[in-house]
Amino acid sequence: MPEGPEIAREADRIRDAVEGKRVERVRFGLPHLSRRARAFDDARVVSVRPRGKAMLIGFDNGLTLYSHNQLYGRWFVRPAGTLPSTRRQLRMAIETRDRWALLYSASEIDVLDEVGLAMHPYLAKLGPDALDPELDATSVAERLEDPRFRRRGLGALLLDQSFVAGLGNYLRSEIAFEARLHPDQRPVDLRAADRRRLGRVTLKMTRRAYETGGVTLPASRAAALRRAGDSWARARHWVFARARQACRRCGDTIARFDLAGRRIYVCPTCQEMR
């Protein structure tokens, strides 16, 4: 499933393609939305923004297209009149005179007015967005002391979108490793310095992943691995998807286990359970 950084990069591409432009047509591949397509005739795209793992595309008619890629959704930006070579099913198309933004395979799509945005069940539960430039590390650390979160294991908490929106499976492994914390630890059991460090790392790793297209290693470290012959996938992370391989810091063997129904990766030495 794409995480916050990937959705934000998709939003950048779609914004460049259609923001400020008047649409010639909006199409829906989901029957229950087809009747809403006419509401966008001659409307202008006024905003394209990510929110957690969702995409919000606003129009000057007061409506917003909401989408969540879930596991299989994928956006394409194409010259007008052309479609990508794919076997996926087209779910939504935003067509302007020169560019088309096309969403394939996603099933979680909706047309929302102002009230619908405020009451949407996914959007309403979201915490602050990790990619919001106004969110700082101190605020994240303070949320760790909130009664809703302080007794939750970090492995589950870092997937909870009401804690910080936009985090996902690879980011939680990388954040916990960089913060030198075990996923089974709870905020209530951490020292104040640990909570502050976790707040800093949560934002640093998420923003680095946005800037690099999903690479959580420092740029110099990733570049050195690529020069040594590693693929992009092998030079991407500290621990995620590296089970039974050597930790890049201490040399111990990376372990994988399931937590909150999803795989997580840990260095037993760097992330010793305290």
Range of the domain at 166: 137-266
pLDDT for the residue 23: 97
Domain boundary pick from 63, 98, 124: 124
Q: What is the pTM of this model?
A: 0.94
| Catalytic pick among 15, 25, 27, 262 | 262
Domain boundary pick from 71, 103, 124: 124
21 belongs to the catalytic site: no
173 and 109, same domain (yes or no): no
Average pLDDT in the chain: 96
34 and 112, same domain (yes or no): yes
- CATH code of the domain in which 239 resides: 1.10.8.50
Question: How sure is the predictor about 124, in pLDDT bands with cuts at 50, 70 and 90?
Answer: very high
Tens digits of residue pLDDT in 200-247: 999 999 999 999 999 999 999 999 999 999 999 999 999 999 999 999
84 belongs to the catalytic site: no
119 and 157, same domain (yes or no): no
Give the pLDDT mean for 149-160: 97
User: What are the angstrom distances between the C-alpha of 261 and each of 168, 223, 237, 257?
Assistant: 13, 33, 21, 10
| Catalytic pick among 9, 53, 91, 196 | 53
pLDDT for the residue 164: 98
pLDDT for the residue 177: 98
Q: Is pLDDT above 90 for 7?
A: yes
2 belongs to the catalytic site: yes
74 belongs to the catalytic site: no
Q: Who's near 129: CB < 8 A, 6+ residues apart?
A: 4, 50, 51, 52, 135, 164, 165, 166
**What is the distance between the alpha carbons of residues 23 and 171, in angstroms, rounded to a whole number?**
36
Identity of residue 270: C
Task: Order the strands of the 23-28 sheet from edge to edge.
Answer: 23-28, 90-96, 99-104, 74-79
102 and 151, same domain (yes or no): no
Q: Is 252 a domain residue?
A: yes
